[in-house]
């Protein structure tokens, strides 16, 4: 499965230290497995979230492509 990122995701990832980046990278490598749930209340049926400790990664999952959209803390990732 191919994994692509948005500019927004890349910017948010750069804010993290190397230990956090490694933990996030390990979780991303295991996609679509892990603590993944389908997002509720959105018009996009392919929108999911991955829990990595106190962080959440919002992503879209299509046939052969996973697009990482947003990365933030649990409290902030669902805003906007």
**Nearest 5°: CA angle at 64, between 61 and 66?**
35
Q: Break the chain into its structural domains and give their ranges.
A: 2-73
27: tokens are 């979780």
What are 20-58's pLDDT values in tens digits? 999 999 999 999 888 899 988 777 788 999 999 999 999
2-73 adopts what CATH topology?
YaeB-like fold (3.30.2310)
User: pTM for this structure?
Assistant: 0.88
């Amino acid at each position: 499965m191919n994994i692509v990122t948005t500019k927004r995701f890349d910017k948010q990832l750069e804010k993290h230290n190397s230990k956090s980046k490694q933990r996030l990278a390990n979780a991303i490598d295991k996609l679509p497995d892990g603590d993944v749930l389908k997002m509720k209340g959105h018009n996009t049926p392919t929108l999911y979230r991955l829990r990595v400790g106190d962080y959440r990664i919002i992503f879209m999952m299509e046939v052969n492509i996973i697009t990482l959209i947003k990365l933030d803390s649990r409290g902030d990732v669902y805003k906007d």
